[in-house]
Amino acid sequence: MVLEVTREQRFERVTRNLKVTRLFSTLVEELKAIGPSCRYETPRNDVMVPVAHCDRRPVLLLMGGGMGAGKSTVLKDILKEAFWSGAAANAVVVEADAFKETDVIYQAISSRGHHNDMLRTAELVHQSSMDAASSLLVTALNEGRDVIMDGTLSWEPFVQQTIDMARAVHRQRYRMGCGYKVTDDGTITEEYWEPVEGSSTEEEDETRSRKPYRIELVGVVCDAYLAVVRGIRRAVITGRAVRVKSQLQSHKRFANAFNRYCSLVDNARLYSTNTMGAAKLIGWKDGESSLLVDTEEIGCMERVSSLNEEANCVHELYADGQPTGGSSSVWQDMVMSPSRASVQRELKAAIQKGEARFRPA
């Protein structure tokens, strides 16, 4: 009770004491993430290296999907592909969660071990981590680096403006804009990026010699109940939690926007992580072609696009009361498996046996 009442005062005190420290530590994390620019590296004589930027277009890879969709798992597989296995070492990875975990304020509050503070702590540093990720993104694009942007991509205006910027950044340098603003009269302004006027002669020469970005999109979708379970598991393991409603909103918004995103990028892929094992490719689009989909599995994304954000249990997620979509899922393979009851009994017996060893005689 005391912790609940004093939470805001405790957070305010920590924020005030570490405000300056956070500025410097965030800057250091950005510098570590951006790494050395390829422009200043000495030529390499290795045989097995990706084509230099002067001979190919730089790549912006957008990893999107709701919280807990399985983006990190899919990204690990993508980094093993022919291009990324060589290019990843010099690519800039933009991920707001990475800045959140290294935020000195987040670490200071989390280290105290008050589990009831998890949600509020994550929300406290959310905007600062997003700003740091945006700063890193625009810096990397201005330098013409290969970039992997890992996020939910659930806010469509931000994604559209980011793609527009990436299309033009080889001709014009950019910086962060004012973001999302609401005036006193209720007018909403969204300007996430703005061109830099009055570039130097050196910068103008550099942009004239650059090639435009190739933009690729990788979307990851799964049944909403599965994402919530993953979110709970992550909160237990890492101490980083999100509200279920925010999680459901991110899945619904991304699913609704995915087809529109496909028309803006050069290549798009959609994966499903509903089943045990490797993610399944259920959608593909290359160049000007339309999105080709697995007709049996694409229903999952269509269901997620209409899920109930206010659901209080798994049976309230969709209008038909069924928690799953697609041909198969973890729900059928594990939760509804006929062998689940016997497996749970064996697990219970094993836990009780283990606990008995530590009971005093």
State which amino acid sits at residue 312: N
Residue with more model confidence, 261 or 4: 261
Burial 217-241 (b: 16+ CB within 10 A, else e): bbbbbbbbbbbbebbeeebeeebbb
Say which amino acid occupies 61. L
Please write the tens of the pLDDT for every residue from 48-67.
344 555 678 999 999 999 99
pLDDT attached to residue 325? 56
C-alpha distances out from residue 118 to 14, 115, 251, Å: 15, 5, 21
* 248-262, 267-281, 327-341: range with highest mean pLDDT: 248-262
12 pLDDT band (50/70/90 cuts)? confident
pLDDT attached to residue 40? 43
- Range in 132-146, 210-224, 322-336 the model is least confident about: 322-336
Half-sphere exposure of 50 (CA within 13 A, CB side): 20
Whole-number pLDDT of residue 46: 41
**Cβ distance 153 to 127 under 8 Å?**
no
Looking at the predicted structure, is the pLDDT value of residue 118 above 90? no
- Is the predicted pLDDT of residue 5 greater than 70, yes or no? no
Tell me the range of 41-50, 114-123, 196-205 where mean pLDDT is highest. Answer: 114-123
Q: What is the distance between the alpha carbons of residues 59 and 215, in angstroms, rounded to a whole number?
A: 6
**pLDDT surpassing 80 at residue 8:** no
For the chain, where are the alpha helices, taking DSSP H only?
A: 2-17, 19-34, 71-78, 82-87, 96-102, 104-110, 118-124, 126-142, 156-168, 201-208, 224-238, 244-262, 299-304, 330, 340-356
CATH number for 2-39+50-304 (one of 2.60.40.1180, 3.40.50.300, 3.30.1490.390, 3.40.50.720): it is 3.40.50.300
At residue 115, the pLDDT reads 64
How sure is the predictor about 196, in pLDDT bands with cuts at 50, 70 and 90? very high
CA angle (67 as vertex; 22, 259 as ends), nearest 5: 120
Query: In the prediction, which pLDDT does 328 show?
Result: 52
Question: How far apart are the C-alpha atoms of 149 and 269, rounded to whole Å?
Answer: 15
Structure confidence at residue 205 (pLDDT) = 61
Can you give the pLDDT at residue 91? 94
DSSP 188: E
- pLDDT-above-90 percentage for the chain: 45
pTM for the predicted model, two decimal places: 0.80
Mean pLDDT of 177-193: 92
**Residues 6 or more apart in contact with residue 282 via CB below 8 angstroms:** 221, 270, 271, 272, 293, 294, 297, 298, 300, 301
Residue-wise pLDDT for 304-349, tens only, equals 999 999 999 888 999 888 777 544 555 556 565 677 788 888 888 8
Q: Where are the domains of the chain?
A: 2-39+50-304
DSSP per-residue string spanning 60-98: EEEEE--TTS-HHHHHHHHTTSHHHHHHGGGPEEEEHHH
